[in-house]
Amino acid sequence: MVSPSIDSGQACRTIIAGTAYPTGLGIFKNFISGFGLIQAKSIFQENQVKYYWRVVVEMWNIRMRASQNIESQEIHISGAEGIFEENELSKMLGIYLKRALNHSRGKPDKIYFTIENFKQIPIKISPLIIKNLICNSPKEARELITERLLNLNITKDAILHAFSIIDSNKTMRGAAIISATKVLRFDPNIERGIRVSRLGIDRESDRKFNRILKRLKINNSRVKEALTLASKVAYHVDVKAELCISDDPDYTTGYIASKELGYLRIANIKNSGDRKGGRIFFINEGADIFELINYLEKMPVLVNFENY
Ligand code: PML
């Protein structure tokens, strides 16, 4: 048996993504101590078993949702979330509160905050590669989206289904999950959709992420959060692609994303002033919907930019 050692970041990421534990060590996998979470991890490397021990700082998930009551209906105004260390909580609560109170969709009359401590170690994943597409009009953007999605074997019917959900007058809080081949929708509550949750940026790589976005002249929280979400969604084996059009009337850049496409930002995806928008996930035939929804809503995921 090899003695415990501190691993390199790369090896650790591989393990967190799901390498097996040797029998007998399982009980030491994660446990809570006065320091936070302690992980004992192992990998098989060149026929050797290596053991890794590390202290993981306790993490918190903040979720914010703001709404307005119009004619006895709760209308979605804005939402945001992230994974943070305890010492960042009050700063982030202030930032989210400010955002909720100053959204172009209107003034909320209810703001909900959920602040949750994790007992589960987040999976660490790599982000999608960012690309930009210049489109001059929403019509051109939709043609381009259609072409790219058809190339991923998403059918024309499924693409038109996605646009019809976006174009409907109801703004969902969450995303719609639809078939990539047929006109079928799977999320159980279509008024609400699925809210992708428990996701954030790995603090170890946050500075690098900021540098990359600064170079691309898109260093703002909206892009950061959208890329983080798109990376979590695309990581699931049964998600073929995502289409996102902001429901913010002032924001006219959207994206399509997938493992193959990366994060493809599309300018002029809608006209300024248009309040319609939404997120659509195209999924494979035969996907386990219950498992997929559980992953999207409940599984903590951190995006790490070290290898970007
Ligand atoms: C939203 O937050 O309203 C969705 C924004 C999607 C596009 C973000 C970007 O500019 O890359």
- Ligand 1 near 257 CB (within 6 A): no
Residue 169 β-bridge partners: none
CA-to-CA distance for 247 and 263, rounded, in angstroms?
19
- Ligand 1 near 253 CB (within 6 A): yes
- 72, 92, 117 — which closes off a domain? 117
For ligand 1, what atom is nearest to the CA of residue 255?
7
Residue 53 β-bridge partners: 40
Same domain, 240 and 223: yes
Averaged pLDDT, 263-277: 95
Q: Identify whether 207 is part of a domain.
A: yes
Q: Identify whether 18 is part of a domain.
A: yes
Helices (H) and strands (E) in the chain, counts: 7, 15
Same domain, 166 and 108: no
- Ligand 1 centre from 104 Cα, in Å? 14
Same domain, 143 and 262: yes
Residue 220 is given by DSSP the state S
Structural domain count of the chain: 3
Is the CB of residue 130 less than 8 Å from the CB of residue 230? no
Same domain, 24 and 135: no
CA-to-CA distance for 219 and 216, rounded, in angstroms?
8
Q: Identify whether 164 is part of a domain.
A: yes
Burial class from Cβ neighbours inside 10 Å (0-12, 13-18, 19+) for residue 246 reads buried
The sign of the dihedral angle between the CA atoms of 204, 306, 199, 100 is positive
List, for residues 113-133, the tens digit of each pLDDT value.
Answer: 999 998 788 899 999 999 999
Same domain, 177 and 140: yes
Same domain, 185 and 239: yes
Q: 13 lies in which domain range?
A: 5-55
Distance of CA 80 to the CA centre of its chain: 11
pLDDT of residue 55: 53
Same domain, 178 and 40: no
CA-to-CA distance for 73 and 67, rounded, in angstroms?
10
Q: Identify whether 82 is part of a domain.
A: yes
Same domain, 96 and 41: no
* Integer angstrom CA distances of residue 227 from 26, 49, 57, 146, 210: 34, 36, 24, 21, 12
Same domain, 151 and 190: yes
Give the pLDDT band (50/70/90) at residue 57. low
List, for residues 146-161, the tens digit of each pLDDT value.
Answer: 999 999 999 999 999 9
- Ligand 1 centre from 60 Cα, in Å? 24
Averaged pLDDT, 167-173: 82
On the question of pLDDT at 112 being above 60, the answer is yes
Q: Identify whether 20 is part of a domain.
A: yes
Same domain, 96 and 222: no
pLDDT of residue 205: 87
CA-to-CA distance for 25 and 147, rounded, in angstroms?
50
CA-to-CA distance for 181 and 155, rounded, in angstroms?
5
The gap between the terminal CA atoms of the chain, to the nearest Å, is 34
For ligand 1, what atom is nearest to the CA of residue 251?
3
Q: Identify whether 277 is part of a domain.
A: yes
Same domain, 79 and 190: no
- Ligand 1 near 300 CB (within 6 A): no
pTM over 0.85: no
Q: Identify whether 32 is part of a domain.
A: yes
Same domain, 21 and 69: no
Q: Identify whether 308 is part of a domain.
A: no
On the question of pLDDT at 260 being above 50, the answer is yes
